[in-house]
Amino acid sequence: MRPAAESRLRSYLAGTHARIDLDRYTRNIQILKDVAGPDRAFMAVVKGNAYGHGAIVCGQAALAAGADVLAVARVREALLLRRAGIDGPILILGGPNPEFVDEAIEAGIALTAGSRTALAHIAEAGKRVSRRAIVHLKLDTGLHRFGVRPEHAVEVARVAQQNPWVDLEGIYAHFSSADEPDPVPTLAEMNAAEESITAIRQAGIDVRYFHLPNSAATISGLTGSSTLVRSGIATYGLQPSDAVQLPPGIEPVLSLHSRLTRVFEILPGEGVSYGLTYRATDREVVATVPIGYGDGLPRSLSNRGWFTVKGERAPIRGRVCMDQTIVGLPVDAVEGDEVVIIGHQANDMPADMIATLDNTIVYEVVARLSLRVPRIYYRNGEPAFWEDDILGESFLAT
Ligand SMILES: *Cc1c(COP(=O)(O)O)cnc(C)c1O
């Protein structure tokens, strides 16, 4: 290993860092591909910095694992992947910033059109840069966020097909409630989308990809006649909701670690952290951990939740600060000992538990892990690559 890389690795491991297990990510994608079936293409969703896991490394790993297409939300996210040398298919989910459409088309990035106007704008941009725009037409089947109403689907698809600057590659819709226990809304939305694609095909318009399912619908088998599935959350080994059980073998990809920076004692009646919202009743050994809401740890975990030290739960004491958090120490530990903030061993706090405590969903917990946290990517249990978005540096093990 090059000395600079090794020295940085040692530094990162001595502080707050995220571990991303690329073998698990690869295996999760393979399992989900099996669940979707051999006749369906697989779109790995790596928007939001791959749900906090790191878009470039996950994008590369997803394609290597057999994903056919990557998806992001912003054109700039796709341009980042292109700049990193990823030349595979990428789709922008949702409406692109109109000012970035020319650049997207020049980079061969597929765009979503959610209206006739948006489609016309994309076609004009294609003409301007002399390159056909790859377009997926989005139907609004019930989520009511964005898209063409099913009753206009054939008409807009025909406009797309007839425009020489548009290559209509896909038609899709996004479920409103696939992660809810009640399947009725999903089935109604699926029906509307299926009727639209049938009518579009009957009108002689051929598209390569018809896609409805997200992770939840893929796992629940609500795939209809989709020729592609889109999966984000399950590829990272996280459950879309309590109502959806992950297929066997899928494991969480990310864990979050730090070190104790100060171990000390507080006396009865003494308080801890801003506002002194926690007060010791007895002499208590506590420790400071260099992680806070500036790293993405919710401040609502103040006096709730725990980290683990040597496999034991160390409860959060007082308020979570921007950069530091104090925990009660249940075991003998010294400065420099490891702390698990998000983990998957017996006593660890998993990401879904943080979501429950913060009254949110697991998506948000991982997506808001800030760029301040260096990411260490593991292969075969060993660090293979590490990335520091603050310094804009990355290191390869070999
Ligand atoms: C984010 C997103 C997905 C991925 O959803 P998961 O629940 O993470 O699998 C799929 N489709 C669209 C349109 C999205 O915006």
Q: Look at residue 361 in the predicted model and tell me its pLDDT.
A: 98
Ligand 1 proximity of 69 Cβ (cutoff 6 Å)? no
Give, using CA atoms, the residue closest to atom 15 of ligand 1. 93
Q: Look at residue 263 in the predicted model and tell me its pLDDT.
A: 98
Nearest in space to 81 (alpha carbons), one of 114, 107, 100, 101: 107
Q: Look at residue 271 in the predicted model and tell me its pLDDT.
A: 98
Give the residues of the chain that fall short of pLDDT 70. Answer: 1
Q: Look at residue 8 in the predicted model and tell me its pLDDT.
A: 95
Q: Look at residue 2 in the predicted model and tell me its pLDDT.
A: 78
33 is catalytic: no
Which secondary structure element, helix H or strand E, spans residue 312, and what is its range?
Answer: strand 312-317
Strands 133-139 and 306-309: unpaired
Strand residue runs (E) in 108-215: 111-113, 133-139, 166-173, 209-211
Nearest in space to 294 (alpha carbons), one of 234, 198, 372, 231: 372
What is the 337 CA–ligand 1 centroid distance (Å)?
A: 38
Q: Look at residue 4 in the predicted model and tell me its pLDDT.
A: 87
Ligand 1 proximity of 231 Cβ (cutoff 6 Å)? yes
Q: Look at residue 228 in the predicted model and tell me its pLDDT.
A: 98
pLDDT tens-digit profile of 290-305?
999 999 999 999 999 9
Ligand 1 proximity of 147 Cβ (cutoff 6 Å)? no
Atom of ligand 1 nearest to the CA of 235: 9
Instruction: State CA 256 to chain mean position distance.
Output: 15
Is the model's pTM score more than 0.85?
A: yes
278 is catalytic: no
What is the 220 CA–ligand 1 centroid distance (Å)?
A: 15
Nearest in space to 233 (alpha carbons), one of 220, 248, 249, 252: 252
